[in-house]
């Protein structure tokens, strides 16, 4: 009886709770699964994600795409890539015009514009910046009425109330000057910053190498506390590579002729840095609270970093000091049809905020996109089957997504993935005909098209050489085919038959995959980093299968990252896989991957295959100094012919990327080289709010079902307990 009462009361309670909850929900129009604050619903905010926390946000240190997404919107270098024009074109950003170039000989005599590259000892780039450009508001600039900095020597009391940069009540700004650009170039040599491009820039900017050595020596003489803080006041230092002409003009002196240098001026490494910021952040109390320049940028761009929580969320908010910059009025003919020129001439940026949420796992990321909580999504291997449909070797958007109005964008990355041969290896390396024949045979056997189909869901294009589409020197059609691996048939490249590969193998001294002298089967070694990814085993099996076609055995030498690097640096690896993403859209940035002096062994350079060909190297040296034009194209063609014949790589593929945008996103154009494109994006927040509500109404009937299920579960327990008690009662009665 008691149990019955308890059970009834319990059931009534649950039922009332459920009914109350249901009524409550029926009465309100709210969606329950919205991860964003309700008050943001109608704001012009773009929601997107990041999967990897940024390591550095300092423009002298940051070199990863995951970081450029943030600082590309905050810092502004002198130049940028045009948003719409293709092939990619540089245009002024903070500069008033493209830098002027002057050539000088070894005696500092000015040369003509068409001077022979061999005569040119230095190139001077003169850059004039826009006047009136302001930094974002920041405590580093805040001064009192006497002109003294308010926060450069913080007391314990002041520090007590500071948890983040926004806690400083007075935040001021100042105008950008040429000194700030020169200061940033000096920062590239600051030893505590360890800029990743110092090594490369030291080869190009006059005196940078010597300057870095001076700074390193001075740094080591600093008091230990200063060394720990990593701060050096660089204002008193000068070096011949950088000269400030006046408030708005500065010059960079480059060794020889280096036509690719302007591309570097479109990177954040060359964005202005105010000395006040460095001095402000060099305070122990701030460092202890992680308030450092690396995490709180001071830029001039359209956005400022309003929330910096790399463990959860990064928020970029509109910079109130951003100057008047306008959407481009010129584009490609096809841009008009898709509405890319609709906002032409309008003031940038369009978005009030950009919210980046940390999502490490693909399932929640994809679900949030489908629910409308992310405005953009990439298409990876995890969600490809749900997002895309493959018909006749081409992918299109899945009907479910099409019905939602989701748009798909496809781009070929300015990058290449390849399998390389260590040219120093006695078996796969070497430059004799038999060595070439072996590598060409292997290149034919490695069916890249099959690899793309199996492992990349057809997201890639089989490479014919190191230069990807969209870069000068890339040739499509019959002319662009690698004749050592393909033939041209039915208007498309066709892989040469395996018989041809077997013939080449025989020429190499391995008929039917066996050593002609010893009769032993040829065993090759694939050196690779193992990550524990289950797909890895399938990839290894695929590799082995490809070589088995030629009766060659492939031994997988899987190792960790450090040991792999060691093998590559010592020349112990035999066959390896590697990838390269362009720093800038110029063929030089791909062809230098096979330039002899860049060999991995000995110089730790980018030539991982340790390929050395004097003719190729000489052509590369010529190419380095050439501006775009027929002469350059001719040299590229010659270089491609040499490396295709030598086959130091199996050319692999150029990855293709698909990205998705919700129906409420304005037209956007993927850009593989620029990182500052968020300022061009538009969002229709009203449509988003309406559709989100439609898509995310909670389903309530399972709640009722769950309550009923629990009651049903209680029933057998009640019955058993009742029977048990009855039995005990009978026994007691009997005993009595």
Partner 1 sequence: MWAYIIRRILYAIPILIGVNLLTFLLFFVVNTPQDMAVVHLGDRYVTQEAIDRWIVTNGYDKPTFYNPKAQGIDKISDTLFYQQSMRLFTFNFGTSDTGREIGHDISERMWPSLALAIPSLLLGLGLNVMLALLMVLFRGTQIDTWGVTICVALMSISGLFFIITGQYVLAKLFKWVPISGYESGLSAIKFLALPVLVSVIAGIGSGVRWYRTLFLEEINKDYVRTARAKGLSDIAILFKHVLKNALIPILTGVVVLIPSLFLGSLLLESFFAIPGLGSYTIDAIRAQDFAIVRSMVFLGSVLYILGLLLTDISYTLVDPRVRLN
Q: Which residues bind partner 1 (CB under 8 A)?
A: 31-35, 37, 53, 55-56, 63-64, 191-192, 194, 196-200, 216, 219-220, 227, 230, 287-290, 292, 294-295, 309, 311-312, 357-361, 363-364, 367-368, 370-371, 373, 560-562, 565, 583, 603-604, 606, 696-699, 702, 716-717, 720-721, 724
Q: Pick between residue 241 and residue 372 the one whose CB is nearest to partner 1.
A: 372
Q: Pick between residue 294 and residue 450 the one whose CB is nearest to partner 1.
A: 294
Q: Minimum distance from CB of 192 to partner 1 (Å)?
A: 5
With a CB cutoff of 8 Å and minimum separation 6, the contacts of 332 are: 84, 85, 86
Q: Minimum distance from CB of 63 to partner 1 (Å)?
A: 6
With a CB cutoff of 8 Å and minimum separation 6, the contacts of 654 are: 412, 413, 415, 416, 417, 460, 461, 463, 468, 469
Q: Pick between residue 170 and residue 720 the one whose CB is nearest to partner 1.
A: 720
Q: Pick between residue 487 and residue 561 the one whose CB is nearest to partner 1.
A: 561
263 close to 201: Cβ distance less than 8 angstroms: no
Q: Pick between residue 216 and residue 431 the one whose CB is nearest to partner 1.
A: 216
528 close to 556: Cβ distance less than 8 angstroms: yes
Q: Which residue has the tokens 């905020």?
A: 353
Which of these, 141, 204, 145, 149, lies nearest to 173 by C-alpha position?
141
With a CB cutoff of 8 Å and minimum separation 6, the contacts of 44 are: 350, 351, 352, 353, 683, 685
Q: How far apart are the C-alpha atoms of 175 and 94, rounded to whole Å?
A: 12
Kindly report the three-state secondary structure assignment for every residue of 650-705. Answer: EEEEEEEEEEEECCCECCCCCCCCCCCHHHHCCECHHHHHHHHHHHCCCCCHHHHH
Q: Minimum distance from CB of 733 to partner 1 (Å)?
A: 14
Q: Pick between residue 359 and residue 447 the one whose CB is nearest to partner 1.
A: 359
Q: Minimum distance from CB of 231 to partner 1 (Å)?
A: 12
Query: Tokens representing 19?
Result: 């009914």
Q: Minimum distance from CB of 288 to partner 1 (Å)?
A: 5
Q: Minimum distance from CB of 136 to partner 1 (Å)?
A: 21
Q: Minimum distance from CB of 490 to partner 1 (Å)?
A: 40
Q: Minimum distance from CB of 349 to partner 1 (Å)?
A: 25
Which of these, 464, 448, 467, lies nearest to 582 by C-alpha position?
467
Q: What is the DSSP string of 508-535?
A: TT-GGGB-TTT-PBPEEEEEEE----HH
Q: Pick between residue 5 and residue 518 the one whose CB is nearest to partner 1.
A: 5
Q: How far apart are the C-alpha atoms of 532 and 720, rounded to whole Å?
A: 51
Q: Pick between residue 57 and residue 444 the one whose CB is nearest to partner 1.
A: 57
For residue 209, how many other CB atoms are within 10 A of its CB?
17
Q: Pick between residue 366 and residue 451 the one whose CB is nearest to partner 1.
A: 366
Dihedral of alpha carbons 560, 561, 565, 566, sign: negative
304 close to 316: Cβ distance less than 8 angstroms: yes
Q: Pick between residue 426 and residue 701 the one whose CB is nearest to partner 1.
A: 701
Q: Minimum distance from CB of 117 to partner 1 (Å)?
A: 23
Q: Minimum distance from CB of 219 to partner 1 (Å)?
A: 7
């Amino acid at each position: 009886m008691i149990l019955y009462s308890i059970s009834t009361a319990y059931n009534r309670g649950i039922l009332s709770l459920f009914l109350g909850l249901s009524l409550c929900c029926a009465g309100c129009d709210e969606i329950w699964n919205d991860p964003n604050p309700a008050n943001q619903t109608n704001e012009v905010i773009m929601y997107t994600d990041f999967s990897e926390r940024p390591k550095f946000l300092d423009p002298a240190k940051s070199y990863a795409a995951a970081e450029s997404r943030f600082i590309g919107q905050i810092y502004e270098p002198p130049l940028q890539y045009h948003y719409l024009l293709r092939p990619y074109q540089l245009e002024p950003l903070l500069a008033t015009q493209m830098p002027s170039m002057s050539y000088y000989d070894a005696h500092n005599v000015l040369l003509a514009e068409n001077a022979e590259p061999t005569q040119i000892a230095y190139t001077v780039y003169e850059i004039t910046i826009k006047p009136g450009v302001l930094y974002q508001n920041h405590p580093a600039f805040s001064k009192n009425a006497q002109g003294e900095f308010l926060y450069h020597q913080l007391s314990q009391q002041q520090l007590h109330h500071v948890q983040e940069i926004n806690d400083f009540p007075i935040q001021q700004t100042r105008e950008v000057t040429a000194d700030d650009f020169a200061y940033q170039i000096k920062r590239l040599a600051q030893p505590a910053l360890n800029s990743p491009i110092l090594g490369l820039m030291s080869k190009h900017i006059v005196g940078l190498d010597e300057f870095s050595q001076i700074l390193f020596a001075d740094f080591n003489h600093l008091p230990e506390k200063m060394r720990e803080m990593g701060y050096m006041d660089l204002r008193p230092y000068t070096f011949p590579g950088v000269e400030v002409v006046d408030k708005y003009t500065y010059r960079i002196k480059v060794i020889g002729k280096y036509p690719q240098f302007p591309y570097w001026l479109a990177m954040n490494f060359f964005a202005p840095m105010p000395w006040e910021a460095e001095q402000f952040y060099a305070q122990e109390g701030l460092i202890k609270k992680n308030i450092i320049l690396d995490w709180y940028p001071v830029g001039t761009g359209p956005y400022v970093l309003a929330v910096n929580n790399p463990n959860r969320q990064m928020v970029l908010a509109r910079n109130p000091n951003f100057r008047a910059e306008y959407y481009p009025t010129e584009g490609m003919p096809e841009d008009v049809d898709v509405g890319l020129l609709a906002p032409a001439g309008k003031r940038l940026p369009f978005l009030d905020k950009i919210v980046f949420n940390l999502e490490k796992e693909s399932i929640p990321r994809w679900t949030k996109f489908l629910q409308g909580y992310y405005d953009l999504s990439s298409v990876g291997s995890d969600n490809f089957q749900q997002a895309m449909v493959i018909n006749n070797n081409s992918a299109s958007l899945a009907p479910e997504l099409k019905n939602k109005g989701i748009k798909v964008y496809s781009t070929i990355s300015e990058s290449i993935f390849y399998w390389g041969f260590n040219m120093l290896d006695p078996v796969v390396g070497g430059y004799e005909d038999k060595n070439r024949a072996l590598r060409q045979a292997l290149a034919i056997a490695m069916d890249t098209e099959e690899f793309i189909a199996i492992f990349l869901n057809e997201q890639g294009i089989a490479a014919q050489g190191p230069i990807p589409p969209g870069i000068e020197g890339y040739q499509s059609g019959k002319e662009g085919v690698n004749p050592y691996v393909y033939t041209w048939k039915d208007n498309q490249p066709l892989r040469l038959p395996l018989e041809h590969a077997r013939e080449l193998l025989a020429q190499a001294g391995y008929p039917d995959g066996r050593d002609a002298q010893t009769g032993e089967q040829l065993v090759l070694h694939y050196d690779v980093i193992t990550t524990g990814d289950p797909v890895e085993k399938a990839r290894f099996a695929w590799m082995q299968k490809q070589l088995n076609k030629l009766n060659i055995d492939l031994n997988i030498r899987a190792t960790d990252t450090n040991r792999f690097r060691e093998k590559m640096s010592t020349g112990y690896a035999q066959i390896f896989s590697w990838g390269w993403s362009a720093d800038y859209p110029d063929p030089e940035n791909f062809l230098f991957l096979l330039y002899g002096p860049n060999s991995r062994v000995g110089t730790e350079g980018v030539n991982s295959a340790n390929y050395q060909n004097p003719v190729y190297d000489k052509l590369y040296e010529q190419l380095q100094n050439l501006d775009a034009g027929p002469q350059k194209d001719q040299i590229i063609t010659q270089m491609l012919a040499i490396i295709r014949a030598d086959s130091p790589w199996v050319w692999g593929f150029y990855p293709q990327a698909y990205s998705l945008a919700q129906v409420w996103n304005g037209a956007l154009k993927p850009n593989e080289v620029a990182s500052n494109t968020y300022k061009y994006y538009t969002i229709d927040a009203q449509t988003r709010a309406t559709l989100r509500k439609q898509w995310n109404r909670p389903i309530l009937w399972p709640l009722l079902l769950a309550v009923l299920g629990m009651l049903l579960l209680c029933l057998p327990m009640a019955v058993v307990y009742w029977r048990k008690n009855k039995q005990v009662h009978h026994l007691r009665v009997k005993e009595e």
